[in-house]
Chains A and B, each alone.
Chain A
Amino acid sequence: MTLPLIVLLPLLGSLVPLLGARAGRTGSACLTAILPLCALVLTIFLSVSVFDGQIVRYSLPWVPQLGLELAFRLDGLSLLFALLILGIGLLIIVYARYYLAPEDSMARFYSYLMLFMTSMLGIVTSDNLLLLWFFWELTSISSFLLISFWTHQSSARKGARMALAVTGAGGLCLLAGFMLIGKIVGTFDIGTILDSGDMIREHPAYMVVLVLVLIGAFSKSAQFPFQFWLPHAMSAPTPVSAYLHSATMVKAGIFLMIRLYPVISGTDAWYYIVTLVGLFTMFYGAYMAMVQYDLKGLLAYSTISHLGLITMLLGLDTRLSTLAAVFHVVNHAIFKASLFMAVGIVDHECGTRDSRKLGGLRKYMPFTAALATVAGASMAGVPLLNGFISKEMFLTESLQTQNLGGLSWLIPALATVGSALSVAYSLRLVVDVFYRGAPRFLPKEPHEAPRPMRLPIEVLILLCLAVGMFPAQIVGPLLDVAMSAVAPNAMDGQDLSLWHGFNLPLMMSIAAMAFGAVLYLLRGGLNSFRRDFLVTDAKYVFEGAVQRATAFCARALDRFDSRSLQRYVFLMMAMMLVLASFGLLRMPVLMGEVPMQPLDPYIIVGATLMATGAIATVYFQRQRLIALICLSITELMVILTFLRFSAPDLALTQLVVSTVTVILMLLTLFFLPQQTPKASSGIRILRDLILAGAIGIVIASINFAVLTQPYETIGNFFTEQAKPGGGGYNVVNVILVDFRGFDTFGEIAVLGIAALGVLKLLNRMKIFVPTTSAENRPWSPEYYPTIFGSVSQVLFPLALMVSVYIFLRGHNLPGGGFIGGLVAASALIMLYMARGVEWTLRRLRVDYQHVIAAGLLVAAFTGMGAWAFGEPFLTSWFDYFHLPLIGELELATALVFDLGIYLVVIGSTMMILANLGKLATPHSPAREARKASTKSTTMEHH
């Protein structure tokens, strides 16, 4: 159980800064550091058993159907990375305290940082590929937040977007690769996958897996051709760069390659792709680092170059190359983090990081200069420092490779040249900034940084020296246990000592130093060579590509989306006609075996009236009020039809629904012109007439066919089971709240969402409120007639009582939450209409959003209540009680669920109608929203 805490503690830690925002800057930093410190202690505690050769594991099923488990493992490799992440993370917390300006939000920064730390720890300790991928994407998102921390800078936003797009796209490829691996091996468990390397390598899809996984790893680790995002991520605050681009984010890709090394390496494809990409990236990064003026840009490209080196080492596939890669991961993290922090200090204290303006800073900040010099020397690979040892190993291993046949000698040669470039840009960084020349045109007088700000660098530099001088003692055991997870016998015959005698790698190293110094002296030539190239800013290329893609999609969308309601309805209806008549055409006979009922004069009259109403509605469509009245004739006839065929529930619902609908339409009509101009040409009218007629014919035929066809419906089951199964005599209600409770739950959720959507639309609406009618007659001065007002006020409680009565009796008699809610809503609307918004609002302080939310919660909790008894969601329960005075009483959980429906219906109906009604008043939603926002901003100002 200790293991998941390592990931969980920093996750909790992401909340701490928000809570500790009042603790001041130092207090906030200290509070933030507590939980990762605990995680570090836990990691060290667990490392005891890891050093004993065990793998600490912990697993909890999450979505077992998908193979997703909350599984963690701590083997040597995870331990190594976890220590790096937590250790450097803690140093970054200290450093950021002094780096961030007082106006930057510390809480936000630390919160993002902790989230990022969580996701990195998650990657390195996952024992499940899907979980690993989950954390992998989480790093993309949290690094996006970190890089764009200074949201006011356009470059920060663009850089963050680019990083997110590139690493996110890579993540998708990775997911595909993981799915394939899961398919081949049959599980996502990393422990099993690590043991089935041969199965994957021999599988025909191996190439696809390899390429997909490598795209994911390369995009994260900024390998060619995905290297372009990393320099632009330098717009982030320096602590972020120091963390993301030394020890964590970019190392995630490397970690992935090392983690899956036993599974996907060892083939020719692996060798060629990884080595060549690494080699090229190393050279490209080194060259670009030489010609950067921005110090962070220099460091960014040098990071790319060193990542290329590590990648190449992973590709080389000689016995010790993987060890060298892991070792260099550690060394690079240490010296690059300290260099970033040193450059951050320079930037912080001088106000610029342009190498052309800086120079001779040794006089102003001697301590920082000394620290940066050691770190730079380590990056260059000077003996007695940690960079030297891993570089020696790199050169040694480059000599071992034979895969290029006769051209194999090129690899060590190029490795030497790459090291030389590394020496050259290290010299450029250290000498140009701290030793040569004098600062020019600095925005502020440079001075030494405060002591605590240098502390993290000092710690790292001490590590540099310690590892450089006593490698076997300091990191030997850690590397040993890390390698045991990757290549079990890699450490045999290897000594991590400083001195191997005068051998070829040492010669190469010396040659690299000399050549690097020469390159440094010739850098003017390199710069003029660079000027011969057309400068393209990857940011603009990327932005352009994004915008072109957006424009293309918009054009493609315009092709089939005309944004015309008439067109949509026409297409939808035509489609429906085609589909429906297709089925009808295949029927041999329309009429089934059920005999027709005898004609009934009431039905003839009703049907005639219904048809007349419909035709009149269409005929009067340009005089909307009259059309509305005609429509209500049809609705009335529908209600009577329901009654005629014994569906009182339906009739009741329809009655209230049509009332509410008519009010809704009247409200909308108020904002529309009273008369519509003739808009359709004769041909269009004819077309629509034919379409409508055809649909009418087809639907009538289908109805006829369905009604005359004898078949067994599920209805019988419901009718029989309503009493014994659901405890109610009203089948309709029992179906709604019990048999199909889950459907109803979804429906009320949709209803609530629709109401919220309407509110959202109305919030933004600035509408023309007509002050006169169409004939230029002003509105009546008597807004709220007295008689109507008093009567409806008296009727209101009565109406509410009726609604409660209808709601309560619903289980056994016509009624229920739906109808009851609608009745209550129409009572409320009556009050609004009779007394006006002003009056009602003063007396009825109900927020309908809360009513909807309360209803949904009641319904959901009632459903969940069943879990407590080990039953599935929404299982209902009922029983009969005998109460004194009241008598026999049935209590059912379905009633509570129905209460949820009742509340949601009231809330949604009122939210739509009341807000629509308020549009014309000073209480319109848009004004209210504006008022609320100005109030909150003034509160912020105070």
Chain B
Amino acid sequence: MEYLGFLVELVVALLLVCGGLTAVVGGIGMVRFNDFYMRMHGPAMSSTMALGCMILASILFFWFHTGTLRFPELILTLFVLISAPVSAHLLTMSALHLKLPRQSNTQGGPFELNEKIDQD
């Protein structure tokens, strides 16, 4: 039992650290990246990967300590997983419509931006 406890706590700790790291990386990305399209990655990472890890950790922790599996957290994950791509999509669409400038080394060239690159 004690061994199992240690194992669970190890997993929980790993998940927490992983989530925290992802969030930090995402945050740094927000600040460091040079154009809008690259900056989109930062928040997407923190809201999916980081949040997902932490919620999993929470579920595991409370499941082990209280003995009940709580679903609200899972629903929370579900909602985050739905809303994050949708909002990212909307943001990118408006960025494309506004023809926000992009760095020449940003990968991929959607057709909306092609003429801009041709002009460069």
Contact = CB atoms under 8 A, between A and B. Distances in A.
Given A791-B82, A795-B82, A780 B90 contact: no
A785 B97 contact: no
B93 interface: yes
B94 interface: yes
B90 to A, nearest CB: 6
Interface string B57-100: 00000000000000000000000001001100110011001100
Nearest to A786: B89
A787 interface: yes
A777 interface: yes
B89 A785 contact: yes
A788 B97 contact: no
B97 A787 contact: no
A52 interface: no
Nearest to A777: B98
A782 B93 CA distance: 9
Interface string A767-780: 00000000001001
B94 A787 contact: no
Contacts, number: 18
A788 B98 contact: no
A785 B98 contact: no
Nearest to B93: A785
A787 B89 contact: yes
Interface string A783-826: 00101100100010000000000000000000000000000000
A780 B89 contact: no
A851 to B, nearest CB: 27
Interface in B88-120: 89-90, 93-94, 97-98
Chain A contact-residue range equals under 10
B89 A788 contact: yes
Contacts of B98: 777
A544 B67 CA distance: 88
A788 B94 contact: no
A780 B86 contact: no
Nearest to A795: B82
A530 B97 CA distance: 85
Nearest to B83: A791
Interface residues of B, number: 9
Contacts of B82: 791, 795
Contacts of B93: 780, 782, 785
Nearest to B88: A787
Contacts of A787: 85-86, 89
A785 B93 CA distance: 9
A98 B65 CA distance: 95
A7 B97 CA distance: 74
B53 to A, nearest CB: 23
Nearest to A787: B89
Nearest to A791: B86
B29 to A, nearest CB: 20
Nearest to B85: A787
Of B82, B86, B89, B94, most buried by chain A (CB within 10 Å of CB) is B86
Nearest to A773: B98
Nearest to A781: B97
Contacts of A780: 93-94, 97
B88 to A, nearest CB: 10
Contacts of A788: 86, 89-90
B64 to A, nearest CB: 26
A791 B86 CA distance: 8
A829 to B, nearest CB: 15
Contacts of B97: 777, 780
Contacts of B94: 780
Nearest to B98: A777
Contacts of A791: 82, 86
Contacts of B89: 785, 787-788
Contacts of A795: 82
Contacts of A782: 93
A843 B92 CA distance: 30
Contacts of A785: 89-90, 93
Nearest to B79: A795
Contacts of B86: 787-788, 791
B10 to A, nearest CB: 29
B39 to A, nearest CB: 16
B43 to A, nearest CB: 15
A454 B107 CA distance: 102
A785 B97 CA distance: 13
Nearest to B89: A787
B30 to A, nearest CB: 15
A174 B93 CA distance: 73
Nearest to B87: A788
A780 B97 CA distance: 6
Interface in A557-601: none
B94 to A, nearest CB: 7
Nearest to A834: B86
A565 B6 CA distance: 66
Contacts of A777: 97-98
Nearest to A780: B97
A777 B85 CA distance: 26
A777 B112 CA distance: 14
Nearest to A782: B93
A389 to B, nearest CB: 95
A782 B96 CA distance: 12
A795 B86 CA distance: 12
A795 B93 CA distance: 21
A658 to B, nearest CB: 17
A482 to B, nearest CB: 85
A787 B90 CA distance: 9
A838 B97 CA distance: 23
B63 to A, nearest CB: 23
A777 B98 CA distance: 8
Nearest to A792: B86
Contacts of B85: 787
Contacts of B90: 785, 788
A780 B89 CA distance: 14
A787 B86 CA distance: 7
B84 to A, nearest CB: 11
A263 B89 CA distance: 87
A780 B96 CA distance: 10
A782 B94 CA distance: 10
Nearest to B78: A798
A785 B98 CA distance: 16
A782 to B, nearest CB: 7
A277 B86 CA distance: 86
A795 B87 CA distance: 14
A791 B83 CA distance: 9
A510 B73 CA distance: 111
A832 to B, nearest CB: 15
A791 B94 CA distance: 18
Nearest to B96: A780
Interface string B12-38: 000000000000000000000000000
B78 to A, nearest CB: 10
B92 to A, nearest CB: 10
A792 B94 CA distance: 18
A562 B94 CA distance: 42
A337 to B, nearest CB: 79
A795 B98 CA distance: 29
A636 to B, nearest CB: 16
Interface string A295-312: 000000000000000000
A465 B97 CA distance: 96
Given A780-B97, A795-B82, 8 more contacts: A777-B98, A785-B89, A785-B90, A785-B93, A787-B85, A787-B86, A787-B89, A791-B82
18 contacts: A777-B97, A777-B98, A780-B93, A780-B94, A780-B97, A782-B93, A785-B89, A785-B90, A785-B93, A787-B85, A787-B86, A787-B89, A788-B86, A788-B89, A788-B90, A791-B82, A791-B86, A795-B82
Interface of A: 777, 780, 782, 785, 787-788, 791, 795
Can you list the 7 inter-chain pairs with the closest CB atoms, starting with the nearest? A780-B97, A791-B86, A787-B89, A788-B86, A787-B86, A788-B90, A791-B82
